[in-house]
Structures are given as C-alpha cells and as structure tokens.
Structure 1
Amino acid sequence: MGEYSKRIGEVGEAVVTEFLSLVGWDNPMQNDDIASIDTEFRKRTNGIDGYYHYINPMVSNTIENVLYSVKYSKDPYPLSKITTQFKERYYELAKAIESFKKSTLKQQTIEMYEEIENHFDRGILFWLNNSNQGENDLISRLSRVEVNSGVEHDGIILVDNKRVEFIYDSICFTLLKYRDYDIEFLYFSNGLNNDERNARNGKIMPVQYINSSVIPIRVNRGSETTVLLFTIDYFSKEDLMKYMGIAKNIGCNCQGATLICFPDYIETEHLPTVNVVKRIFNDDSFTANLTIANYNNPLLK
C-alpha cells in the first residue's frame, strides 16, 4: 500500500509540473528540504514539493516566492473530512513557508535580483484527483472556512480540479486556435504596477491569476493583435457586459479583435443576448470586432 500511495503522489507531481510549464513556470525546484525553525513541528526539515520564483508583474520591483504542495489521489474528494484535511494541509504548508522565510534558499534567491524593493512568500496547495466521480469544486465549499495558522505569510492559494481544468482548457484552446501566433498573458494595471519598466504582457502567468475567475491573454502575429478573456463563470447577460468592459480596458481599446470565452456558450441559444448587449454597450469600434466562444467546444478549437 505504501508504494502504491507513493506512485499516486508521483503522478500528481508530474501533472502539476506539466500544468506549471503550461503557465510559464518552467523548471521549478522540486522535492527539496528546508531546515525547520520550529523543531517541535518538524524535528529537522520541512519537505516541499516545489518552489518557483519570478519578478512579479503585478507589483513593481517585487519578487514572488511560491512554495507549492501537491496532494493527489485516485479517489473523489472526501467531503466528510474535507475541512479537517484542508486545515491540516494548509498548516503544513504555512509551516514550510515559515521556515523558508529564514532559509538560505530565500536569501540566495533575493541576491539573484537587482533593484528589488520587496518580496512575497506565498503557497499553493494543489489538491487534485483523477476520479470522474463526486464534486470537483473545493474552493466554493471551503470559501467560508476560517484558518488561523499563527504563521506569517503572504497567502496560500487552494487549487482544485475545477480550477486546474479551467486554466488548462483555456490555454489549450488558445494554443490550438492560434497555433502560429505569439501568445502571452496580459497583466492588469492595478495601481501597484504603474512603473513604466513593468511588463504589460509576458509568458509567465502571475500567481494572482491562478484563483481568478478570468484569464486575460494576448495573441499577436505581425500587426494582428487579439485580446482573449476566459472566464470560469457561466454565460449570462450581466457577466457578458462586465467582461466586455474588462476586455476593452485591459486591451486599452487598441486590439484588433476581442474574443470572450465562456465554458457553456451556445451560439444558437445565446447569440440574441450577445446582440442585445452589444447594442447596450454602445461602442461600435469595439463590438464590431468582438466574438463570443465556448472554450470547451472542440468544434471551435
């Protein structure tokens, strides 16, 4: 049983490594040990499944340090134990971040960069399974759970099956539909990244997008530029209006075309609503080049 459980875990780490490569997090440090600063919790070391760092395009002059933990099973999520297990796994990762803050690994990372003013130390808990049964949305179920680890860190993000599938399907849709294009993530302007040296697009997906309900992408070929906005939300008139505004603003209204993608859009059913919203939006220069699509429909890929 021990070897089989180990194999399930190894498969999970491989899935996460492939996922991280897809979002531009190439070659993360994997399966490392960090000397424990709380020897009552961990006698010697805190093991981490992976560690990645990058210059944060969402906050000027900042390093993003991300430690991640992978929990992977062949079975559905154990809903009767979900809160207890989440708190245990959250605390375990929080303690690893606590030790990382005092580690030589962090110090060596900071010394790699120049003109850095700040850094964030975050965690990602990948809690996945390969079962086609049961619930796949843990984030909604655990959204009201209060967790107080007593450990200082800059946030721990839960990633479940639903979230991984959303990001994976969105990027795969883009790769298939825009094979000959340069594909990059767009970075929202948020008041913390207004420095003119900050990139406005790039190959790395910021950690802030991993639990976002939208993913903004830019595809470019020659003078042709298209802004793509993917949402995890189901199609509705209200959400379409909202995402049209976001797409226009993030593209600075200078893109040649815009594509907003929902997981359930059906043209024969929803096109009349799209036409109504376009008229209400009242910006012909934008809506004339706006298309709505379903990123789960292989016929549209």
Structure 2
Amino acid sequence: MGENSKTSGENGEKLTKEFFELIGWKGAVKGVSVKCCNSEHECKTHGNDYVYIYDNFLHENRTDVVFVSCKNSKDGYPKATKSLQNLFKKHLNELEKIADCSKFDHDIDKMVHNQEVRKNKNYIGLLIWTHGNSESLHKDIKTELKNIQLNLTSKIPLYFVDMSRFSFIVDALTHLQYENASDEYNFYYPKLGDIISSEDKRYGKKLPIELLVSDLIPIRIEKGENISLHLYANQDFSEENLKKLCSLALDFAGDWVQNISIKFRTYHPANDIQIKDSVLMTFNNNVNIDVSSFNKNSLNLLEKK
C-alpha cells in the first residue's frame, strides 16, 4: 500500500513537471519545506511540491507567488460523490495550511526577493489533482464539488486544476505545437476591464493563473508578416458557442490580427459546416475566421482548404 502511494505521488509530480513545461512555468522550485507558524495546524512543517514565482501581465505591477500541491489518484477519482467530496476537501484544507504558513516563511521570502518582483505580490495556492484512469481523463467533476461546504479561513485565493482541465490544456497545447512547429507562438493576455498596464506586453511564454483555470486559451501566432489569434475552447461546437467566441475573439483582436482560428473540443467538418457558415456571415469584418477541432481524427482532412 505504501509503495503504491509513493508511486502514485511520484506520477503526480512527474505529470505536473511536464505540465509546467507546456504552460511556460519553467524554473518552478520543487520540494520546498516550510516551518508551520500556526499552532492549530498540529504539525511542525509543511511541504510545497512546487513553488513558482512569475510576473502576471494580466494585472498591473503584480507578481504571483504560487504554492503548488500535487495529488494523484492512481486508479481515478472516487466513484461515490461523497467520497470524492471528502477527499477534495482534505486536499484543499491541506493546501490552505501550506499556503498560510508558506506566505510567512523566511526562506520563501528570500526566494521572492532574489527575483525582480513587481510592486504588488499576490500569494496563491494551487491544487493540481490528476489521476491515472485513461477512460475518464475528460470527466468534469466540478458539478459534484460545487455544493460542498469547505470552511476555509485563509485570505489566500486557492485554485484547482482537475484531470479534465489538465487534459484540455495538454491536448490544446500539444495540438498547437504540432500545427505550428515552425512558427513563433505566445499566450495572449487579453485586456479585461481595467487590468493590464499599457506598458506591459500583451503576450508571453507563461500562462497566467487566471487563464490556467479558464475554459479558453488565447494564443498569438507569428508566421512571417502574418499574425493570427487562436482561441482553444474547452467546449463542444454549437451555434451559440460559436457566436460567443466570434464576438470574444473580435473583441480581443486589435489591428494586429489578420486571421482568427477558433478550436473547439468537437467539430464535424461535414455536419457542422452550414451552421458555421451561417454564423460567420453575420460577422462583417476584415478578419478571416476559421473553425476546427483540436482533437484530431481522419475527418480533419475535410478542413483542408
């Protein structure tokens, strides 16, 4: 039992390490132990699986300090909803304690100040909970978790990436790299409300925490003189979803965009083409918009121009 638990934990850390490479979180520090500074925690130390520090260009003058806890369930998540909820609460409560004490740890503070951090430091807890059941990689468990009582007391925001979101991001970015192997690409940082300083670049190699937990990944691709915007959506194709994403893409796009590509989880090039063409006709603009799926199969040959 102990050996299986160790192997499962090592698999979780390995998955997270490779995941960080994909999303640009290179240089995350592994295995950071901190002293407990809260007598109610009933332990002397806490262990961060990873600590990652980066400038978040979705916000003006902000550096994020992320305390990461990796969990991995070897055979999949518990099938019973109550068991799933209880295990999730256990993992999240553990992360809350780790983040609470890590924020005040001297060694982590030293680690932060060794970098050129921005004016505002934002401390974050991130739970990445993966599993090894290949038949349920895309099962969304959020509906089973949304009504539970967490009883969290920390003021530090906690974020959660389950296997479904993990798989979406891996599938999308693997597809991106395959389709654009010779082109320069960056994550695009959309201007949302009053965030993003005019002095900041609107694109870069690191996926910010807000986009990490989003169902939409915006990508800026340069191919010679041509610059395009690609939106990877964790959604199935539908008329309503396409309308929303077209509006959003055009809102994101400035004068720099000549082409927009919207990638759905599912899209049938033969069965869905009439709906697609009908929607695209309603958007009178000078930007070319194409629609496809990032889950490749032989039907994708129908998308060839």
Q: Shorter-chain-normalised TM-score: which range?
A: over 0.9
- Compute the displacement of 1:9 (Å): 0.8
Superposed, which structure 2 residues align to 1:69-218 within 5 Å?
Answer: 69-80=69-80, 81-114=83-116, 116-133=118-135, 136-153=139-156, 155-218=157-220
- Compute the displacement of 1:133 (Å): 4.0
User: Residue in 2 aligned with 1:290?
Assistant: 289
Query: Are the counterparts in 2 of residues 215 and 231 from structure 1 also a CA contact under 8 Å?
Result: yes
- Compute the displacement of 1:255 (Å): 1.1
Distance 1:20 1:115, change over 3 A: closer
- Structure 1 unpaired stretches of 5+: none
2:148 partner SS: coil
Amino acid at match of 2:236: Y
Distance 1:43 1:146, change over 3 A: closer
CA distance in 1: counterparts of 2:84 and 2:65, whole angstroms: 27
Distance 1:279 1:165, change over 3 A: same
CA distance in 2: counterparts of 1:57 and 1:140, whole angstroms: 31
Q: Cα RMSD between the aligned structures?
A: 1.8
User: Residue in 1 aligned with 2:4?
Assistant: 4
Distance 1:5 1:114, change over 3 A: closer
User: Residue in 2 aligned with 1:258?
Assistant: 260
TM-score by length of 1: 0.93
CA distance in 2: counterparts of 1:248 and 1:270, whole angstroms: 21
Amino acid at match of 1:14: K
Distance 1:101 1:72, change over 3 A: same
Aligned residue pairs, count: 297
CA distance in 1: counterparts of 2:215 and 2:117, whole angstroms: 32
Query: Are the counterparts in 2 of residues 13 and 70 from structure 1 also a CA contact under 8 Å?
Result: yes
Task: Provide Cα deviations, 1:32-56, integer angstroms capped at 9, x if missing partner.
Answer: 1011011341431111111101011
Task: Provide Cα deviations, 1:8-35, integer angstroms capped at 9, x if missing partner.
Answer: 1101100111011100001211111011
Q: Percent identity?
A: 26
Superposed, which structure 2 residues align to 1:271-282 within 5 Å?
Answer: 271-282=273-284
Query: Are the counterparts in 2 of residues 122 and 156 from structure 1 also a CA contact under 8 Å?
Result: yes
Distance 1:147 1:192, change over 3 A: farther
CA distance in 1: counterparts of 2:106 and 2:5, whole angstroms: 32
Query: Are the counterparts in 2 of residues 58 and 187 from structure 1 also a CA contact under 8 Å?
Result: yes
CA distance in 2: counterparts of 1:297 and 1:143, whole angstroms: 32
User: Residue in 1 aligned with 2:31?
Assistant: 31
- Compute the displacement of 1:298 (Å): 4.2
User: Residue in 2 aligned with 1:44?
Assistant: 44
TM-score by length of 2: 0.92
